[in-house]
């Protein structure tokens, strides 16, 4: 709504004042001025994020249930701007999903082991067969004498033995396995060190 003191002015003067107000609003009442500038670079490269994105991602990595309003407060943006940034991060696959962190010991899977798997050859679908085993948490195609490195969880040594004997070694093309059992876990996380990630601003500076 146009203020009354503007409506009282002559039509030409009123239009000029309204145009001035609109320009002022566009310049000063932006929810996120950096959004347009940085995201023009962001859109040119799917892997590019700016410093505000890194702050948002760091918060989400720590607590995926954090409210949008709290994230906005912590990064200094309007809630709508944060919501739009998160939406773009999801669309580009940088945020791949949200999940709960379950205490494995409390649900009966306290034993961790890393298993090196040697096969006749790679790329024959063996990796998918290994990935389908529920106890296998990670499957990595590795260089060296072995073909794959698996991270697995089991209830106890006996359960691990069954996993190795009846599930892993029954996969076609598997020749042998070597297993290392974890005695104690010092650190286990999926959070990335985003402070080391190149930002859109840094990339823009390099282009210059």
Which residues fall within 8 angstroms of residue 148, CB to CB, at 6 or more apart? Answer: 116, 117, 119, 122, 126, 127, 130, 139, 140, 141, 142
| pLDDT of residue 28 exceeding 90 | no
| Cβ 87 vs Cβ 42: under 8 Å | no
Range of the domain at 132: 105-181
Q: What pLDDT is recorded for position 32? A: 45
| Cβ 147 vs Cβ 119: under 8 Å | yes
Q: What pLDDT is recorded for position 19? A: 63
**How far apart, in whole angstroms, are the C-alpha atoms of residue 17 and residue 25?**
12
| Portion of the chain with pLDDT greater than 90, in percent | 66
The least confident of 46-50, 113-117, 175-179 is: 46-50
**How far apart, in whole angstroms, are the C-alpha atoms of residue 44 and residue 38?**
10
The residue with greater pLDDT, 41 or 183, is 183
For residue range 117-156, list pLDDT tens digits in order.
999 876 679 999 999 999 999 999 999 999 999 999 999 9
- Tokens linked to 173: 């093309």
Look at phi and psi of residue 184 and say left if phi exceeds 0, alpha if psi is from -120 to 50, else beta: beta
Dihedral of alpha carbons 143, 148, 153, 154, sign: negative
| Portion of the chain with pLDDT greater than 70, in percent | 71
The verdict on 114 and 143 lying in the same domain is yes
Assigned domain for 3 exists: no
| pLDDT of residue 11 exceeding 90 | no
- Tokens linked to 188: 């286990």
Query: How many domains are there within the chain?
Result: 2
| Cβ 79 vs Cβ 72: under 8 Å | yes
Given 98, 125, 145, which residue is the final one in a domain?
Answer: 98
Q: What is the CATH number of the domain that holds 47?
A: 1.10.10.10
Range 100-126 average pLDDT: 92
pTM of the model: 0.71
For residue range 38-86, list pLDDT tens digits in order.
443 344 445 578 999 999 999 999 999 999 999 999 999 999 999 999 9
């Amino acid at each position: 709504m146009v203020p009354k003191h503007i409506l009282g002015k002559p039509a030409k003067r009123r239009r000029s004042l309204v145009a001035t107000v609109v320009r002022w609003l566009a310049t000063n009442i932006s929810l996120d001025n950096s959004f347009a500038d940085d995201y023009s670079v962001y859109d040119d490269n799917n892997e590019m994020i700016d410093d505000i994105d890194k702050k948002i991602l760091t918060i989400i990595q720590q607590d995926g249930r954090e409210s949008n309003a709290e994230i906005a407060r912590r990064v200094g943006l309007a809630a709508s701007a944060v919501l739009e940034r998160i939406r773009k991060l999801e669309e580009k696959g940088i945020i791949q999903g949200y999940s709960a962190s379950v205490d494995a010991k409390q649900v009966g899977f306290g034993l961790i082991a890393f298993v090196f798997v040697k096969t006749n050859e790679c790329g024959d679908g063996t990796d998918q067969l290994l990935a389908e085993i529920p106890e296998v948490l990670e499957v990595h195609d590795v260089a060296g004498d072995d073909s794959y490195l698996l991270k697995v969880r089991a209830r106890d040594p006996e359960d691990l033995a069954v996993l190795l004997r009846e599930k892993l070694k029954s996969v076609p093309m598997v020749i042998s396995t070597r297993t290392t059992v974890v005695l104690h876990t010092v650190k286990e996380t999926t959070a990335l060190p985003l402070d080391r990630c190149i930002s859109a601003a840094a990339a823009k500076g390099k282009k210059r």
